[in-house]
Structure 1
């Protein structure tokens, strides 16, 4: 299940909503078969003067996959993937392609190595593609028989099941408790506003990362969510007590995957773990849905909820792909510079007590 290259964030609706908000400038896109490659030309100090391009993957769309086939027209193909890379290299005229959040377990990584070695006239790809920011994140295999670490399924311990069950019963004592979803009768606009409100009622508002408290992010969400909800490529689930939203989850559908994009919960009820409750509910729904094979948490390593209930792990990294002979040397220099900058940021945060 980890060998998946689906990417909901190369949806045209999401990309165009992000222009000037998530991306600094207009995005450019090349496509071959089911592979779509959005990219930005980089012209800043972070590239050390090296002519570079970056695949459009970022904190609000942390998937470096390029396969986008919502209607089932295409199959994953090495020929299509290589043709897309040829188009990308020609369009960018760059020495190096910076590719964040590349899924290392996907078969396309091997295809990428083959393409680079052929392009540079090398017998092997060993040492040609340096990488940094390697990490894992939680991933769920939705097959009903998948349980525990080996299968990447749900890994709820006995104590966790007892705790979440007790929390649910205590909430039921307070009134009418239910889940509502845009997959059913929940009005799309009401769902958007309810989610934005509950996300802004917690710690995310204090940190300034809640969508509703940032004008640009608020406009960004409103620019793509209504249409993606309408065409079924997004859904919003809410946990509601007496008409009050306690938690919400925005997910995207792409291929046979579900991607949990944003969560929010009401801090007043945090002792009942409404964030865990809604993630468990969506996990159960996905397990019963024949159209969903897996859920990607999109979360950082060490996520306090997803990693405790989902056993699967997906490996990701930022790649520095050389496109020319000069790029072969430059890629290693850029990789070292990124690693050094990340280390400096870590120690700065640690000195300020933020780690």
Structure 2
């Protein structure tokens, strides 16, 4: 039994908890069951790496907000007003927080933040250290300080390598493969002589300034608007003030529950934990001017709704829903088109991510740019090329199995409904 294991057991016997952490300590948590802390410190020029229980995020809100403002790449899904409500309500796994900070006698500065889980994707591969991801946060870009990010990334890889009780493979899902964070990580991996693989590559519809909606698409939208106007007077609203966003979100939740997601019992409003998360996250972001709700009205009825979240000049089309009574007039496509024009007219927005699946017909047609997303798999020791490749393949196989299962369940639901 090594010294670290001995320390872990002694800490567990004393009932050690995250609240007992003192400033300057570097905390690592053992692999599952992850029910106690052990003390292991690595300092590089007064840089420390610590691992906390997930609830410690409540005490990091201000620091994380400051880090997000300095990050090499923005991501609204790691804004504390989104992340903190999400963690306790969306996942039953043991999520932990990896934190890197620079500390001196009179200051402490957060440099990197990563929620993670320890998983085993396949019986033929070992355990992995996986950055936390979930269906409600389709961008996995992690907050890395833009001040000397390469040094921080290299120190991170060395720290994880030296911690023998953690898995030897790091998995970072849903990164923008053409983004600054991926570029920094690739350089850090190369500098340390480690192996890297990419899996789950896909493209998503996006918007960038200087890409107006083509005339053909505008004519098609005008045709759909005329068809929609047969049901009643049509108007388009954009909610940006906190009270207006709150009202718009409630309209969205009701609209989503009235459609096919309601029939499948997957609408946000039908799960009290997910509904509470959505309200706290969206309304919290709205208080900082980081949320909008676009609503297309027919008379007094909401025909379609789109919730957009923002951070650092990037917008994410988070959730959309439409009233199926107006389906023939394409209200979902109309709201995507009108929202696209509003977003591109805002000089503060330099990228809008549709967050849509790769084969989303309306998003691909109306949002003309593309962004590439994928999963990075990094071997944390030199000479692990084969293990890294095997892990990437196992993750690809797992995703395919889940996709086939999802399609099979969809066909089963349709069959039962028709029967």
Which of the five TM-score ranges fits, normalised by the shorter chain? 0.7 to 0.9
CA RMSD of aligned residues (A): 3.0
- 5+ unaligned residues in a row in structure 1: which ranges? 148-153
Alignment counterpart, residue 236 of structure 1, candidates 289, 293, 296? 293
Q: Secondary structure at the match of 1:54?
A: strand
What is the TM-score when the length of structure 2 is the normalising length?
0.70
Relative to the length of structure 1, the TM-score reads 0.82
How far 1:328 moved relative to its partner?
4.5
Tell me the secondary structure at the aligned position of residue 66 of structure 1.
Answer: coil
1:117 equivalent to 2:190? Answer: yes
User: Quick one: distance in 2 between partners of 1:231 and 1:47?
Assistant: 45
- Aligned pairs for 1:199-278 (under 5 A) are 199-278=256-335
For 1:173 and 1:239, how far apart are their aligned partners in 2? 14
Any stretches of 5+ residues in structure 2 without a counterpart?
1-71, 102-108, 413-419
Distance 2:410 2:77 in 1: 33
Q: Give the equivalent residue in structure 1 for 2:376.
A: 319
- Aligned partner of 1:142 in structure 2 is 209
CA distance in 1, matches of 2:331, 2:110: 38
How many Å separate the matches in 1 of 2:86 and 2:407?
Answer: 31
Question: How far apart in 2 are the matches of 1:66 and 1:348?
Answer: 29
- SS of the residue aligned with 2:372? strand
User: Which protein shows a greater Rg?
Assistant: 2
> Secondary structure at 1:251's aligned position in 2?
strand
Aligned to 2:19: none
Which residue number corresponds to residue 5 of structure 1? 73
Equivalent residues in 2 for 1:13-162, closer than 5 Å:
13-23=81-91, 24-31=93-100, 36-44=112-120, 46=122, 50-67=126-143, 77-83=149-155, 93-119=166-192, 122=193, 128-143=195-210, 146-147=211-212, 154=213, 156=214, 158=216, 160-162=217-219
Native 8 Å contact 1:177 1:240 kept in 2: yes
Choose between structure 1 and 2 for higher RCO, CA contacts under 8 A separated by at least 6 residues.
1
Residue 246 of structure 1 contacts residue 266 of structure 1 at CA under 8 Å; is this kept in 2? Answer: yes
Q: Secondary structure at the match of 1:299?
A: coil
Secondary structure in structure 1 of the residue aligned to 2:130 = strand
Count of aligned pairs:
332
Shift of 1:316: 1.4
* 8 A contact 2:207–2:367 mirrored in 1: yes
TM-aligned CA deviation for residue 141 of structure 1: 1.0
